[in-house]
Structure 1
Amino acid sequence: MTHPLRAPYPPRSGETLLPWDQRPPAVHPKVLRDELVAAAEWVSGYLSGLPAGPVVRPMPPGQRAGLREGRLGGRTGDLGGVLDFVRDEIAPFPTGNGHPAFFAWVNSPPAPAGVIAELLACAVNATCGMGENALMDLERGTVRMLAGLAGLPDGTGGVLTSGGSMANLLALATARTWFLTRRGSSDGPAYDRDHARLTLYCSAQAHMSVSKAATCIGLPAHRLRPVATDAHDRLDPTALRAAVAADLDAGLLPFCTVSTLGTTATGAVDPLRPVTRLCRSVGMWHHADGAWGGLGAAIPALAPLYRGVDELDSMTVDPHKTLSVPVGCGALLVPGPEHLHTAFAHQASYLAADEPDALPWLSHATIELTRPGTRALALWATLQHLGRDGVTDLVEHYLRLAEQLRDRITSEPRLELLAGGPWPVACFRVTDPGSGDPDAFHTRVARRVQDNGRAYLATVAVRGRTVLRACLCNYRTTEDDLDLLISEVLHAADADDHPTTTPTGRPPDRR
């Protein structure tokens, strides 16, 4: 008998109504297996064939408009159409970070172990926010692995996030709660009074996600203090101390300093111990944004720069940068994980833990309730495939390539190396940009390299000048790719004087 409030599902004319276990999203096991096999074969061929193709392709305006249109038909579709759609409409137009000649941003290719793990985690489909399950415990374990690699103390906890931006947001929110709680002003009029005086400090080279996170927790721009850097692009502790002292004299409340471990522009590492000493002396939280360079303590050549890392209050690490875990997999690591729970734990009758002695759910350490298990399994699989020695070897591979690239730039009379390191990045310019605005010239050079499709780099502002920036974060990059990049830059610079183009509007192929 049909329930009086539920109308029967009406079959279309000429169709037989199938039971729900045979209607979409359900699918016959054999069909699912065949489509998974076809998808796996395509993925393998796609990844292996990336180096032979262009880094990026221009997307036809019609295809771009079609994707944006978001048209949904009324009839059920063929499951095989998913692979067809990706092959024809998505895969030909990537960001480019899978290609070994991609040098623009800190975007890595996906590690094969992570690709496999993401598929498997999607099948399990457990949330890592509430309800005890194996993937939640695995996340706790992978956080401990990351903390060990980062040089943080035993007992460090934390959560995996979508990336460094979310990790930095969680860190600043935690620091604020910690600071105000210690002052006895975590609520009420005292909260309003003290929150209106909070000030935040970071390097002038800090990632833009720090200022965005500050805005999200209610700090206006005029209470964010970008601190001057030294000749090596590191935060200057003397300038930081002066800024903090001035704010204290003005009756403001310095609550947190953010150091950067591997700046986006030049790969610089801020000094940790002097900053921590200052933070301790005035009662501030010390957070380190190590989205790119958070694992430097595990690398012998970089370890001296990370002395004092074990004294931090929190750290951001992005496994989808340094370790090639598929995006998005970031992490916030906190030696005192109880501070996360103070900031984010909320109760609800429908979310009571099943066991009275269970560990706090991971949703109590972040703003997410429903959280994907793909992060934990993809990170675990990548770490297991690498091992500790493999992590070191991978980063050292990038460091060697960066040093070789800097050597090539230095030995080329037409190029000038301006900055770079210790993390694997090189910032450089063409020595003779000709007449006109040199900043605009280098922007045009980068655009021509990108449009030509054989290599890809970006620009960045360094000490008030627009420069070409190349970073190394692709495990498939070779010395041949470095030579290709230099060649493409020089050809693009020549094209500024001789702007001959092909019929498609791209620079001619000079290889």
Structure 2
Amino acid sequence: MHDPASSRFGDSCLSPEPPAVHAKVLRDELVSAAEWVAQYLNELPQGPVSRPLPPQERSLLREGRLRQRGGEFDSVLDFVRNEIAPYPTGNGHPAFFAWINSPPAPAGIIAELLACAINATCGMGESALMDLERGTVRMLADLAGLPDGAGGVLTSGGSMANLLALATARTWFLTRRGSGTGPDFDRDHARLTLYYSAQAHMSVAKAAACIGLPAHRLRPVATDTHDRLDPAALRAAVTADLDEGLLPFCTVTTLGTTATGAVDPLEPATDLCRSVGMWHHADGAWGGLGAGVPALAPRYAGVGGVDSLTVDPHKTLSVPVGCGALLVPNPEHLHTAFAHQASYLTAGEPDALQWLSHATIELTRPGTRALGLWATLHHLGRDGVTGLIEHYLALADRLRERITAEPRLQLLAGGPWPVACFRITDPDGGDPDALHTRIARRVQDNRRAYLATVAVHDRTVLRAALCNYRTTTDDLELLIREVLHAADAEQSAAGTDQPPQHR
């Protein structure tokens, strides 16, 4: 009688059953996948920036129907090649300027594959990848300008890092007041108040909602003419709330705002936080590593004095998507907020290091973040990190120069981080905000370049962010041409008598 287990475990003459495959089959498919990846990345700049997913294809992907019998192992690559890769978001293309989404660094691609094969969790137990995460976090903290002894934890991105930061700040604040639990917790938690720049990323307000802060206790603080948080307005808001009997517990500054690339002043915010007993969190998802760049360093004075800092390596460093970080000068604050015990989880020897799950809400954590980050940093080195950021800054300067030199375009905002916000000069008639939305859509639909819109000073503007290491000045020229062509098309569609001015 045939033993069903023999084909899986005992009889080497029979094909192994899924999920197992023969070693040669796995090798051949890995080689094929590697060849396809290299070709895909090499040809990417020559293709369209984006391609809409046909409705019928979208429906098939969404159905999620699983066949009764398994499919062929070698069909996985075919599926990706034919059904997934042709319809990208666009952020791998050098003419993609819409969002702060970077292409994957080659070293990170290889590292993520290797980490998947090892498949160690970086949450519980001890593994080399967990210690590697501790080391790469230390590298990031050093690059960011935090003091010796700083630590932290890798996250899925800036949104999760900001959530962890606010939860840590709440625990720290209430514990210091002696109201970390019981009725005192309920009383004080109902008065907690959060402050952040009006230009802060939306993940800050979302994180506040996740830890139970209602919208009426969130304080978006006014910004100055350079889109930076106004320290005087912050102090006035905090003072007013203290007079009302509320509990200001945390201020969030932003290092590299999404809309315009502004950097909030750090030292005045820290001084205020120290004087009233607040936590100072800096959201540097995009711009958290600016302290090591000579052109940016003066704006980062005092970064070592913040209580926590978000950094997104998958933005600034092109680590593959899914790698953010929360950095803290005092890692014990994370352990106080998140360490929990269970009888089925013991940390081994009494003097063993805290598991990384004790510094976050995740227990199961992938090793891809640590190895992808380490490989990218290893390939770049400290000089390479600085050079990469300086490449983006130089491109942004060039783009702003081209916009300023073009009579039909007006530069409205941008910097110091690499972003340019601009508009068509004196559009003829109609709603200028709607016009710029349509121009952006036309550029996107033409698929040769891709940019988005954003609200700046209550006006809808075109926004181009520079975060692709493969972008060149030729791509900037292409973007300018595409915007002007789209403006001409809008002018023609409006039926104006004026001939197009772009040549």
TM-score, scaled to structure 1: 0.95
**What residue identity is the alignment partner of 2:219?**
R
Deviations 1:241-291 (A, max 9, x none): 000000000000000000000000000000000000000000000000000
How far apart, in 1, do the equivalents of 2:421 and 2:40 lie? Answer: 31
SS in 2 for 1:349: coil
Match of 2:296 in 1: 302
Deviations 1:119-166 (A, max 9, x none): 000000000000000000000000000000000000001000000000
SS in 2 for 1:498: helix
Match of 2:368 in 1: 374
Query: Could you tell me how far 1:23 is from its partner in structure 2?
Result: 1.1
Equivalent residue in structure 2 for 1:228, among 218, 222, 230: 222
How far apart, in 1, do the equivalents of 2:95 and 2:109 lie? Answer: 21
Deviations 1:278-320 (A, max 9, x none): 0000000000000000000010000000000000000000000
Q: How does 1:324-335 map to 2 (within 5 A)?
A: 324-335=318-329
How far apart, in 1, do the equivalents of 2:481 and 2:130 lie? Answer: 48
Query: Could you tell me how far 1:432 is from its partner in structure 2?
Result: 2.6
Query: Could you tell me how far 1:79 is from its partner in structure 2?
Result: 1.0
SS in 2 for 1:277: helix
How far apart, in 1, do the equivalents of 2:271 and 2:350 lie? Answer: 40
Equivalent residue in structure 1 for 2:117, among 111, 116, 123: 123
Query: Could you tell me how far 1:18 is from its partner in structure 2?
Result: 2.3
**What residue identity is the alignment partner of 2:56?**
G
Whether 1:58 aligns to 2:47 is: no
Match of 1:392 in 2: 386
Whether 1:409 aligns to 2:403 is: yes
How far apart, in 2, do the equivalents of 1:60 and 1:73 lie? Answer: 23
Whether 1:437 aligns to 2:431 is: yes
SS in 2 for 1:346: coil
How far apart, in 2, do the equivalents of 1:54 and 1:301 lie? Answer: 34
Equivalent residue in structure 2 for 1:29, among 16, 23, 27: 23
Match of 1:105 in 2: 99
**What residue identity is the alignment partner of 1:473?**
C
Equivalent residue in structure 2 for 1:270, among 261, 264, 273: 264
Match of 1:480 in 2: 474
Query: Could you tell me how far 1:354 is from its partner in structure 2?
Result: 2.2
How far apart, in 2, do the equivalents of 1:390 and 1:412 lie? Answer: 33
Match of 1:18 in 2: 7
Query: Could you tell me how far 1:19 is from its partner in structure 2?
Result: 2.5
SS in 2 for 1:350: coil
SS in 1 for 2:125: coil
SS in 2 for 1:286: strand
How far apart, in 2, do the equivalents of 1:314 and 1:188 lie? Answer: 27
Match of 1:471 in 2: 465
How far apart, in 1, do the equivalents of 2:347 and 2:214 lie? Answer: 38
Equivalent residue in structure 2 for 1:283, among 269, 277, 284: 277
Match of 2:453 in 1: 459
Q: How does 1:102-181 map to 2 (within 5 A)?
A: 102-181=96-175
How far apart, in 1, do the equivalents of 2:300 and 2:100 lie? Answer: 21
**What residue identity is the alignment partner of 1:216?**
C
**What residue identity is the alignment partner of 1:77?**
G
Q: How does 1:207-218 map to 2 (within 5 A)?
A: 207-218=201-212
SS in 1 for 2:439: helix
How far apart, in 2, do the equivalents of 1:263 and 1:48 lie? Answer: 32
How far apart, in 1, do the equivalents of 2:114 and 2:172 lie? Answer: 38
How far apart, in 2, do the equivalents of 1:165 and 1:434 lie? Answer: 40
How far apart, in 1, do the equivalents of 2:348 and 2:368 lie? Answer: 24
**What residue identity is the alignment partner of 2:83?**
E
Deviations 1:398-443 (A, max 9, x none): 0000000000000000000000000000000001322111000000
**What residue identity is the alignment partner of 2:88?**
P
Whether 1:200 aligns to 2:216 is: no
SS in 1 for 2:461: strand
Whether 1:425 aligns to 2:419 is: yes
Number of aligned residue pairs: give it: 491
SS in 2 for 1:347: coil
Whether 1:38 aligns to 2:29 is: no
How far apart, in 2, do the equivalents of 1:390 and 1:411 lie? Answer: 31
- Percent of counterpart pairs with the same letter? 81
**What residue identity is the alignment partner of 2:81?**
R
How far apart, in 1, do the equivalents of 2:351 and 2:189 lie? Answer: 35
Query: Could you tell me how far 1:9 is from its partner in structure 2?
Result: 6.0
How far apart, in 2, do the equivalents of 1:253 and 1:260 lie? Answer: 22
Whether 1:69 aligns to 2:63 is: yes
How far apart, in 2, do the equivalents of 1:305 and 1:59 lie? Answer: 43
How far apart, in 1, do the equivalents of 2:43 and 2:311 lie? Answer: 30
Equivalent residue in structure 1 for 2:242, among 248, 256, 259: 248
How far apart, in 1, do the equivalents of 2:383 and 2:331 lie? Answer: 28
Match of 1:503 in 2: none
Query: Could you tell me how far 1:20 is from its partner in structure 2?
Result: 4.6
Query: Could you tell me how far 1:356 is from its partner in structure 2?
Result: 2.2
Deviations 1:33-52 (A, max 9, x none): 00000000000000010000
How far apart, in 2, do the equivalents of 1:20 and 1:115 lie? Answer: 32
- Alpha carbon RMSD of aligned pairs, Å? 1.5
TM-score, scaled to structure 2: 0.96
**What residue identity is the alignment partner of 2:271?**
R
SS in 2 for 1:225: strand
Deviations 1:445-482 (A, max 9, x none): 00000000000000000010000000100000000000
How far apart, in 2, do the equivalents of 1:266 and 1:117 lie? Answer: 33
User: Which segments of 5 or more consecutive residues in structure 2 lack a partner in the other structure?
Assistant: 11-15, 495-501
Query: Could you tell me how far 1:58 is from its partner in structure 2?
Result: 1.4
Deviations 1:149-203 (A, max 9, x none): 0000000010000000000000000000000000000000000000000000000
How far apart, in 2, do the equivalents of 1:48 and 1:32 lie? Answer: 24
SS in 2 for 1:352: coil
Whether 1:82 aligns to 2:76 is: yes
Query: Could you tell me how far 1:76 is from its partner in structure 2?
Result: 1.5
How far apart, in 2, do the equivalents of 1:496 and 1:424 lie? Answer: 28
SS in 2 for 1:376: helix
**What residue identity is the alignment partner of 1:482?**
L
